[in-house]
Amino acid sequence: MTTEQHLLLVRHGETQGNREQIAHGQTESPLNERGRKQAQITADMLRGWEREYDRIYCSPLSRAHDTAQAISDALGLPISLHSGLMESHLGDLEGVTYKVLHEFGYAKHSIRDDDFTGHNGESPRAVADRIEESILEIRALHPNENLIIVSHGGAIAHLIARLTGSKPAFGPQFIMHNAAITEIILPVDAAPEIIVLNHHDHLPEEFKIDPKKGDPSTQGK
């Protein structure tokens, strides 16, 4: 393995569910027109990124795959799907409105309790374990390559929290804008380092979807 490896984490573009304020964890919710434009703008921006990347891994859900495809087309990189990169499973809360999600207290409970499963879905710890294991598996297959990971708001937040040793496992402080990027250095003999967090300056103002508006958990789906 090289002395350091870079991960570029990309959140998918806006979806119809985001627009309609419906929580789609592992349920399909395609990119809407604005989401497709966000993905393309991000892909075009990455043509001039200061580091080169070698391949893309993404969640199999269409909102992530279609975002990854835009990046693949722009950079000429291969894409592989990995089910471990999917969003948190919301259990009984799959498909509910953001309002219902907030009234249930999903974010509040998930932030307070890493093992919360009161929604009959994945706990924050389980999500963090799943996505960390997925990244370790992917890195083992490509130890000398820089990797682009296209996933979901909640899943990425859990991953960043786990990689950096932050608490709680849910990592609400790491929820990203749609089509934003975070870059992390993974040295062999040192702790991971975030060098870019939630970069979305390349997006026009009308395409910047603020993840801090309302219940933070709803912006991760």
CA distance 187 to 98: 38
Q: Note whether 186 and 160 are within 8 A (CB).
A: no
Supply angle C-alpha 149, 6, 136, rounded to 5.
60
CA distances from 65 to 13, 58, 89 (A): 10, 6, 18
| Residue 12: active-site member | yes
CA distance 160 to 155: 9
- Active-site residue (options: 87, 102, 158, 199): 87
Helix-helix angle 153-164:124-141, to 10 degrees: 80
- Active-site residue (options: 12, 102, 152, 177): 12
CA distance 27 to 43: 25
Judged by DSSP in three states, 220 sits in: helix
| Residue 119: active-site member | no
Of 165, 203, 211, residue with least CA distance to 184:
165
**The two three-digit tokens of residue 154, written as one number:** 């909640």
DSSP, res 5: E
CA distance 80 to 59: 9
Beta bridge partners of 55: 147
> Catalytic positions, please?
12, 87
